Chains A and B, each alone.
Chain A
Amino acid sequence: MAVRSSRAHGRIEKHAWAYWFIAPTTLTIFLVFVYPLAVALWTSLHYDVMIRPGLYRFNGLENYRAMLTEPRFWSALKTTMFFFVTTVAVSMLLGLAVALRLDRNFGRWNWIKPLFLIPMVVTPIVVGIQWKFMLNSQMGVITYLARLLGIPVSAWLTEAGGAMFWVVAVDVWYYTPIVILLFSAGLSAIPGEVKEAARVDGASELQTIRYVTLPMLKSIAVTALLIRTIGGLRTFDTILVLTDGGPGRVTEVVNLYAYRIGFYYFDMGKASALGWLMLGVALALIVVYIRLLRATAKSYSQT
C-alpha cells in the first residue's frame, strides 16, 4: 500500500471519497429541484404571462392575493378535499379487507395473489382511457350493463354526480393495490404464534382481527395512509382523461387548476404562486405524518 506522506493528508483522503460519491446526486437534485423551486418563487412574485411578454413586471404578493380571493381556487380546493378524503377512505378500507382475506396460504392457487396488484402497474393515462371507453354513453360496456339493470344512464361522465363518482371510483381502482401490498407486507410481519395464542385463548376470527392483528398494523397503516394521501392529492392523468375537470369545474382538482392556469391561460406567475401555496399544504402534511409516525412508534414502546 502507498505510504501516506503525512497524517493530515491521510485523513483528508479518508473522507474525500464520500463527498465525491454524493456529488452527482447532490448536484442533480440542486439543478432540477432546488433551483427550479427558487425560480418558481421568483416567478410567483411577478406578472408573468407567456403570451404577454411585454407586460412582465414585479408585483410582489399580488399573485398570492389574487389566488386567495379567486372563487375558482376555493372550489378547486373543496373538490380536492372531497375527492381525496373519499378515495383514501374507500381504498384504505377495501385494501385492508382484501389484504386480510388474502393473508392465507392458498396452496396451489397462490399464483393468484399477485394478480390483485395488476391495476397499479397500468399507466394512469391508460387507466383513464379504458374507463372512458367502458363508460361511453353510447357503446360503453358498463353503460350497457347499467341500462340492462334498469339504471337510467345518459352521459354520466358529463353529469356532476356521475363525474365525481367515477373519478373517485377509477382512482380507487388504480390505487387500492398499493394499499393491499403494504398491508400484506405488514400482515406477513405478524408472527403466526401471536394469532395462534389468540385462538388458543378462545378468540373468534373477528376478535383476533380486531384486538390482535389491527393494532399490530398501525405503523404500516400510517405509511399506507401517507402514500395514499400523496397519491390522492396528485391525481391528474385519470381526471384529465375522464372529465377534464368537467362538467364545468365539478371535478377540477387543484392540480388540474394549476395546470390550466399555466398552460391554458399561460399565467406562469399565478401558477407558480399556486404551486407555492400547495407547497405549504405539503409541508403541513409532512408535519402531520411525522407526528403520526412518532405516535405509533411510542405506542409500540408502551406495549
Chain B
Amino acid sequence: MNNQPLIPDRAATLSAGKTAAVTARTEHRGLHRLLRLRLSHVLDFAFLGSYLFVALFPIYWIIVSSFKTPLDTLAIPPLWLFKPTLSAYQNIFVFDNYGLYFFNTVVIAVGTTVIALAFGSMAAYALDRYPFRFRDVIAYALLGTRFIFPIVYAIPLFQLFNKFELLDTRVGLIIAYTTFSLPYAVWIMQSFFAGIPTDLDDAARIDGCSRLGAFWRVILPISAPGLGASAIFIMLLAWNEFLFALILAGGGMSRTLPVAASLLVGQREIQWNELCALATATIVPLLVFFGFLQKHLIRGMVAGAVKG
C-alpha cells in the first residue's frame, strides 16, 4: 500500500479493483467450496449407499436363508437371527441328485469355454492377420448374432437334436452353447490380437515356425490376459444359460443348475430353504470367481461390449 502513487492511474485502479474483487470472490468461494464439498459427499454416501444396499441385500438374504429350517423360512416377521443348519444342503446334495446337476453345469461351462476359445481365437487371429475380402461382412454377421433372440434358433435346434438324439446330453448342450460363446470369443480375441504387432509373427516365422506354430507358441502366450478375460466371461454366460438348457435338456439327467432351480420353484409347495440352498450353490462359485477375478471379468465384459 505504501508503494501506491498518490494519484493512481486509471489502469492501476482498475486492475487493483479487479484483483480485490477476484480475491474477495475466491475467498468466498473457498469457504463455499468447503461447505459444498461436504454436502456432495454426504449426498454421494446416501445415494450410492442405498443403491449398494439394494444391490447386495437380495444376495445376502438368499444365502442366509439357505441355512434356515423350513419353519424358519416361513417365519413372520422374517428372522434375522436364528439357529443355522445344513439340513437344506443335506437334502439336496446328499439325499438327492443335485450334486450331479452341479457337475453337469461345471462340465458344460468348461467344455463350452474350451471349444469357444480354441475355435474362436484361431478364427480371430486369421481374421485379424489375413486380408479376407469378406472381413466386414463377417464383422457385421458376428454383431448380428447377438441381436437374434435365442428362442428363434432354440426351436429348430430342439427339432434337430430330437432327430439326432442329442437331447438331454451334455455334449449337445455344449454344441448349442457355441451359438453365443463363439461370437463373443472371436469378438474379444480379435480386439486383443489387433493390439499385437505383426513383427512377432514375422519373427517367429523367420525362425522356422509354421503359421500354426507361430500362433501356438508365440501369439497365444502373449494374449493370455485376453484369453483369460474371454474365458471367464464365456464361462459365466454358459453357467447362467437357461433357455437352451431348458429346451434341449429340461428335467433330464443332463440338466443344469439354473434349470434345476426353476423346476424347484415351479412346485406347488415350495420348500424355500432347499430352494435357497440350490440358489446359493448356483451363485456362490460365481461370486467367488468374481471376487478373485473381477478385473479380468470386467475387462472381458467391456471388450465384449465395446467394439475395438
Contact = CB atoms under 8 A, between A and B. Distances in A.
Interface of A: 1, 15, 17-19, 21-22, 24-26, 28-29, 31-33, 35-37, 39-40, 43, 94, 97-98, 101-102, 112, 114-119, 121-134, 138-141, 144, 173, 177-178, 181-182, 185, 205, 220, 223, 227, 230, 233-234, 236-237, 240-241, 255, 258-259, 262-263, 268, 271-272, 275-276, 278-279, 282-283, 285-286
Contacts of B239: 123
A117 B298 contact: yes
7 contacts: A28-B119, A32-B179, A43-B159, A123-B258, A126-B62, A129-B279, A278-B149
A128 B263 CA distance: 13
Contact of B175 (A17, A32, A43, A223): A32
Nearest 4 A/B pairs, CB to CB = A21-B126, A275-B152, A18-B130, A25-B123
A21 B123 contact: yes
Contacts, number: 245
A24 B51 CA distance: 45
B11 interface: no
B119 A230 contact: no
A241 B278 CA distance: 15
Given A25-B122, A139-B74, A205-B40, A262 B59 contact: no
Contacts of B110: none
Interface of B: 40, 44, 47-48, 51-52, 54-56, 58-59, 61-62, 65, 73-78, 118-120, 122-123, 125-127, 129-130, 132, 143-153, 155-160, 175-176, 178-179, 182-183, 186, 208, 210-212, 215, 236, 239-240, 242-243, 247, 257-259, 261-262, 265, 272, 275-276, 279, 282-283, 286-287, 290, 294, 297-298, 301-302, 305-307
A25 B147 contact: no
Contacts of A94: 51
A181 B294 CA distance: 12
Contacts of A32: 153, 157, 175-176, 178-179
A98 B258 CA distance: 30
Contacts of B159: 39, 43, 268
A106 to B, nearest CB: 10
A15 B242 contact: no
B contact patch SS? helix
Nearest to B73: A139
A185 B295 CA distance: 13
B167 to A, nearest CB: 13
A97 to B, nearest CB: 8
Given A130-B59, A241-B265, A25 B76 contact: no
A139 B71 CA distance: 11
A127 B223 CA distance: 34
B58 A134 contact: yes
A33 B242 CA distance: 18
Contacts of A25: 119-120, 122-123, 182, 186
Contacts of A28: 119, 175, 178, 182
B48 A98 contact: yes
A90 B129 CA distance: 42
B258 A40 contact: no
A123 B282 contact: yes
B160 A36 contact: yes
A178 B155 contact: no
A141 B73 CA distance: 10
A163 B176 CA distance: 32
A115 B52 contact: yes
B151 A139 contact: no
Nearest to A271: B155
A133 B122 contact: no
B143 A115 contact: no
B290 A129 contact: no
Contacts of B307: 223
B272 A133 contact: yes
B123 A144 contact: no
Contacts of B62: 126, 129-130, 133
Nearest to B306: A223
A133 B298 contact: no
Contacts of B286: 121-123
A115 B125 CA distance: 34
Contacts of A133: 61-62, 65, 272, 275-276
Contacts of B186: 25
A289 to B, nearest CB: 8
A230 B147 contact: yes
Given A32-B176, A144-B78, 12 more contacts: A22-B127, A31-B175, A98-B48, A101-B47, A115-B55, A122-B283, A130-B62, A133-B276, A173-B54, A223-B307, A237-B242, A282-B149
